[in-house]
Amino acid sequence: MSTTIQLFVTCIIDMLYPEVGEAVVKVLQRAGVTVEFPAGQTCCGQPAFNAGMRAQARPIAMHTIRVFEKTQGHVIVPSGSCAAMIRHGYPELFAEDEEWLPRARLLAERTFELTEYLVDQLGVTDLGARFPGKLTYHASCHLLRDLGVNSQPRALLSGVREAELVELPYTTECCGFGGVFSVEHPEISTAMLERKIANIEASEAPLVVSCDGGCITNINGGLRRQGKPQRAVHIAEILAQADNER
Amino acid sequence: MPDTFHEQIRTALDNPTLQMALDGNAERRLKALNQAFATLPENREALRQRAHAVRAHTIAHLDHYLDQFIANAQANGLIVHQAVNAQEAVGIVLQIARGAHSKVVAKSKSMVSEEIHLNHALEAAGFNPVETDLGEYIIQLRGEPPAHIITPAVHLTRTQVGKTFAEKLDIPFTEDIPTLTATARKVLRRTFLEAGLGLSGVNFGVAETGTLTLVTNEGNGRMCTTLPPLHVALMGIERLVPTLDDLALMLYLLPRSATGQKLSVYTSLIHSPRRPGELDGPDERHLVLVDNGRRAMRQSPLMEGLYCIRCGACLNACPVFREIGGHAYQAVDGRITPYPGPIGSVVSPGLFGVPEFGHLARASSLCGACKEACPVDIDLPKLLLRVRAAGADLEGYKKTSGLSTQDKAGTQPSVKLRSHVPLGMRLSLRGFAWIASSPALFSMAQRLAGFFSRIISPRSEWLRLPRFTGWGYSKDFPRPTTRPFHERFATLAAVPSANEYRAIPAQPTGQFEPAAETKPVSHEALVDRFCEELTVLGGAARRCTVNELAGGLLEDLNDLGITALQAWDEEHFPAGLIPALRLGGILVQATPDPTLRAGLTGALAGIAETGTLVLPGGGGRPQTASLLPEIHFAVLRQTDLVQTLVEALRLPGLRDFPTIVLVSGPSRTADIEMTLTIGVHGPRELRVFIV
């Protein structure tokens, strides 16, 4: 009897990294889960919420709640900040709305970030993945501090065969993304990103693994602009590298 | 977004000296904080949650505790004033100051005084307010506002301080921090002795006892509250705790979070003015309770911001503060707020108006490092988001909340009520909200993005966006796909479950540890611990019998060439000690005299876990004996040792002393380049004889 989950792929992965979405599906299926993808899903509404535009964030959140209300089972989000938005942002957004608050809470309760779900709910830390090479791990802010998820992705990466996991210096420091912050305050965002890039270089790993599409876009955007060889990748891309693949 | 704010940010980022100072601050402070928390007898998280609960309870019942506190403070002999706004607070202080014998006002650190712009008002009225905290003194000489709530001169190097001192104090230029500190000691000693009025802040007011608690390292707080004939304490109405036990909890957290110390050098518990027949202490103590927007903030969604205990840990943890420093946190009209950093971006708009200060909350990546560092677990990201929500819709927010939309001085709103969201972002997000609420539109927009991005960037998978977009400032952007994931999902081949995967029991993710049991400890172990802690703080401990005491003291005094000292009355020492000293040729007096090099005190108790002496005042125990001289000798009975601060604050009759000071080592500062320097205003040496 296999478990069925609902995938909320997030707008960033949908539009910028569809191959990450494919890797997420593969990882979940390898963990023995049936993946459903509710049609009509768009964005969680975090950009408007973070900008302070709650009147604009609410209709997007309502849309997302409606899409997943029609489904059953856990909602899995391969991004720490989007999962945190649903778990903590939605109840805040509808705090004074008698109709929508319970609906928001119901969705919040069944929503999990990908690695959190794999490790805490399924009890899986070894997916038979194989990745020859050095990796380092960037602890994304919302994942780490808002969801309290840190040991889970690390345990999953430790389970990857042939991968050498090295510690990223100051891994818990923000990469400077912060959503709308990165475009509203590019100067500060840049200064923060430079510190992150210097630490990535110091780790000597060619790949930095993250569980958030926002951090990946930010870190890669800076690495690419500066002509650096390192890249940020989503954890699912590593976990999907299995040795029985043809 | 006000241009001045952006300008300040750029200026800060382009200032290499500031960048170095801020990096040093962030790294050292966080390291010190973590080390200090490692020494707690209890799990840090459990303490934080308890502290959060205490603060939440206090703010929820603020009027009750305020009434209780005022009644007790009055019963202790304090003259209590209440000020609704800055103007009233300033008026009250000026009124009191006019009764002083001298125009010199000695000020120890008070954030409320910064908030109400007291120095300006005092100067305008012909007074000479002198900041006596070394960091505050430096920036006062330079005519700058503080750059940090704990380390006001964090942005300056020793060279800059040296130049300032050479210019303003007419001394030869030096970069030597001990020399600079000694200069300040000398100059400010005069201020303390001349001042007609001593001004201080209050770290905590204790409702059940009416106690004013003041935490300092240099000793200037003790000077300002002991030497001038008038003392005025300024306190925000929210800085209360219900009980002395709650105070102990806060004192476990505040110094550790602020400076990485287990306890600050001086923790003063102040109850009453000088009583008849006493040798020191002010004739009058006034307490000015300042609202200045706090009651309104308490009714607003930003209420949790009032839980703050002003430790500055969130500033030190904040990656944005680390880049831009305290002076960049400016109002729309360029006024610098006294409260910078994450908590400042909540408290400043909360107290002084969202239209003026709300944009500060937008300069945050919401990374949550502030919440993690906060000793009372204030949900700062949540509050920053609430400030943003208020700033995005000022008109609407004004109608539905108690948040200030006008200057608390009672003037008209100084800025137009215009959304803080930049126009471009506002329009884009409105469009985005419309599109993202409709799957069909969303899909179409994705197609268009995929299509147009290929026209802009046909060959590369990266887009170089123009600078004005913000993103293009320093980053490339990945080219959107033409086949989004939602179009691909249906075509994905199912991957079989990996039958070889092994399920390893997940590691527990909880971080709670059981609180350590407090075991009964032998006197011997308490003495050992006390000596160890005191030595770490730079003090000296010596064990001896009662019979050896006088000999030991005389030996020390002879070595130092000291022939006179200020001491507590005879009855507070083991019998025969004072006569023996006199017989040994030492002139012993109780009256304060700034020329005396040594002071001798007993102690009510010693706290083993922090190497702290508990020194009461009154009843023939002049506070000046442990404050004015260079060298402080103390006699502590080993039977008076307790293990913890909580036990010390539970000692019976504490409230009956006019003042009590907890002394943890010799006076110290780290205000210049965070370099530890011993001996600022208080004693440079502390020698404890344990009998």
CATH code for the domain of A22: 3.40.50
CB-CB under 8 Å, B1 with A123:
no
Tell me whether strands B677-678 and B477-478 are parallel, antiparallel or unpaired.
unpaired
Average pLDDT on B22-31 reads 86
Structural domain total, chain A: 2
Helix (H, G, I), strand (E, B) or coil at B97: helix
Q: Quick one: pLDDT band at residue B410, thresholds 50, 70, 90?
A: very low
By Cβ distance, the residue of B422, B464, B475 closest to A218 is B475
Select from B155, B151, B158 the least CA-distant residue to B176: B158
CB-CB under 8 Å, B489 with A25:
yes
Q: Please give the Cα distance from B300 to B309 (Å, whole number).
A: 19
Kindly provide the residue ranges of all beta strands, DSSP E only, lying in B171-250, ordered along the sequence: 197-200, 204-206, 211-216, 230-236, 240-241
Q: Which of residues 350-369 of B touch A (CB under 8 A)?
A: 362-369
CB-CB under 8 Å, A119 with B475:
no
Q: How many CB atoms lie within 10 A of CB B98?
A: 12
pLDDT tens digits for B482-508? 999 999 999 988 887 775 555 444 444
CB-CB under 8 Å, B498 with A9:
no
Chain A and chain B share a number of CB contacts under 8 A equal to 267
> Is the complex ipTM higher than 0.95?
yes
Q: Is residue A244 part of a domain?
A: no
Q: Which fold has domain B523-690?
A: Rossmann fold (3.40.50)
pLDDT tens digits for B158-201? 999 999 999 999 999 999 999 999 999 999 999 999 999 999 99
Task: Flag whether pLDDT at B363 surpasses 70.
Answer: yes
DSSP letter assigned to residue B570:
G
pLDDT of residue A92: 98
Least confident of B85-89, B360-364, B499-503, B648-652: B499-503
On chain A, the residues whose CB falls within 8 A of the CB of B469 are 183
Task: Flag whether pLDDT at B509 surpasses 50.
Answer: no
Domain housing A170: 126-239
Task: Flag whether pLDDT at B372 surpasses 90.
Answer: yes
On chain B, the residues whose CB falls within 8 A of the CB of A185 are 9, 320, 362-363, 470
The Cα of B82 is separated from the nearest Cα of chain A by a number of Å equal to 35
The domain boundary, picked from A68, A91, A120, lies at: A120
Q: Quick one: pLDDT band at residue A50, thresholds 50, 70, 90?
A: very high
Q: Is B412 on the interface with A (CB under 8 A)?
A: no
CB-CB under 8 Å, B481 with A16:
yes
Interface-testing mutation among A54, A173, A185, A218, with chain B (most B C-beta atoms within 10 A): A185
The Cα of A206 is separated from the nearest Cα of chain B by a number of Å equal to 19
Q: Percent of chain B, pLDDT > 90? A: 81
- Give yes or no: residues A115 and A194 share one domain: no
On chain B, the residues whose CB falls within 8 A of the CB of A176 are 319, 365
pLDDT tens digits for B514-528? 344 456 678 899 999
The Cα of B23 is separated from the nearest Cα of chain A by a number of Å equal to 11
Q: Please give the Cα distance from B526 to B371 (Å, whole number).
A: 36
The Cα of B241 is separated from the nearest Cα of chain A by a number of Å equal to 28
On chain A, the residues whose CB falls within 8 A of the CB of B502 are 126
On chain A, the residues whose CB falls within 8 A of the CB of B302 are none
pLDDT of residue B518: 53
Cα nearest neighbour of A50 on chain B:
B385
Angle separating helix axes B158-169 and B134-142, nearest 10 degrees: 70
pLDDT of residue B350: 95
Cα nearest neighbour of B428 on chain A:
A48
- Give yes or no: residues A7 and A116 share one domain: yes
On chain B, the residues whose CB falls within 8 A of the CB of A17 are 478, 481, 485
Q: What is the CA radius of gyration of chain A?
A: 18
Q: What is the CA radius of gyration of chain B?
A: 29
Q: Is B437 on the interface with A (CB under 8 A)?
A: yes
The residues, any chain, with a CB within 8 Å of residue B64's CB and separated by 6 or more, are none
pLDDT of residue B514: 36
- Give yes or no: residues A105 and A130 share one domain: no
By Cβ distance, the residue of B367, B471, B492 closest to A183 is B471
On chain B, the residues whose CB falls within 8 A of the CB of A26 are 495
Q: Is residue A246 part of a domain?
A: no
Q: Is residue A145 part of a domain?
A: yes
Q: Please give the Cα distance from A156 to B393 (Å, whole number).
A: 43
Q: For A103-116, b where at least 16 C-beta lie within 10 A, e where not — what string?
A: bbeebbebbbbbbb
DSSP letter assigned to residue B654:
G
CB-CB under 8 Å, B504 with A51:
no
The Cα of A124 is separated from the nearest Cα of chain B by a number of Å equal to 5
pLDDT of residue B416: 63
Q: Is residue A224 part of a domain?
A: yes
CB-CB under 8 Å, B475 with A181:
no
Q: Quick one: pLDDT band at residue B2, thresholds 50, 70, 90?
A: low
- Give yes or no: residues A150 and A96 share one domain: no
- Give yes or no: residues A148 and A226 share one domain: yes
The domain boundary, picked from A67, A87, A120, lies at: A120
- Give yes or no: residues A63 and A112 share one domain: yes
Task: Flag whether pLDDT at B646 surpasses 60.
Answer: yes
Q: Please give the Cα distance from B393 to B404 (Å, whole number).
A: 13
CB-CB under 8 Å, B366 with A141:
yes
pLDDT of residue A142: 97
pLDDT of residue B24: 86
Average pLDDT, chain B: 91
The Cα of B295 is separated from the nearest Cα of chain A by a number of Å equal to 22
The Cα of B148 is separated from the nearest Cα of chain A by a number of Å equal to 19
The Cα of B532 is separated from the nearest Cα of chain A by a number of Å equal to 33
Do B319 and B367 touch, CB atoms closer than 8 A?
yes
The Cα of A106 is separated from the nearest Cα of chain B by a number of Å equal to 20
Instruction: Give the type of residue at A15.
Output: M
What phi and psi values does residue B10 have, to the nearest 5 degrees? -65, -45
The domain boundary, picked from A105, A120, A135, lies at: A120
Q: Please give the Cα distance from A112 to A109 (Å, whole number).
A: 8
Does residue A109 or residue B146 have the better pLDDT?
A: A109
On chain B, the residues whose CB falls within 8 A of the CB of A62 are 437
By Cβ distance, the residue of A14, A120, A178 closest to B506 is A120
Q: Is B478 on the interface with A (CB under 8 A)?
A: yes
By Cβ distance, the residue of B323, B364, B502 closest to A178 is B364
CB-CB under 8 Å, A126 with B504:
yes
Q: Is residue A169 part of a domain?
A: yes
How open is the CA angle A187-A188-A191, to the nearest 5 degrees?
Answer: 90
Query: In DSSP terms, which residues pair with B584 in a beta bridge?
Result: none
- Give yes or no: residues A94 and A149 share one domain: no
pLDDT of residue A133: 95
Average pLDDT on A185-213 reads 97
Q: What spatial distance separates the first Cα and last Cα of chain B, rounded to whole Å?
A: 65
- Give yes or no: residues A134 and A216 share one domain: yes
Q: Please give the Cα distance from B244 to B247 (Å, whole number).
A: 5
pLDDT tens digits for B57-101? 999 999 999 999 999 999 999 999 999 999 999 999 999 999 999
Q: Is B493 on the interface with A (CB under 8 A)?
A: no
By Cβ distance, the residue of B430, B439, B450 closest to A56 is B430
Q: Is residue A61 part of a domain?
A: yes
Q: Is residue A245 part of a domain?
A: no
What's the gap between Cα B520 and its chain centre?
Answer: 33
- Give yes or no: residues A130 and A115 share one domain: no
Q: Please give the Cα distance from B88 to A141 (Å, whole number).
A: 43
pLDDT of residue B337: 93
CB-CB under 8 Å, A22 with B362:
no
Task: Flag whether pLDDT at B513 surpasses 50.
Answer: no
pLDDT of residue B38: 84
- Give yes or no: residues A93 and A8 share one domain: yes
Q: What is the pTM of this model?
A: 0.94
Does residue B414 or residue B314 have the better pLDDT?
A: B314
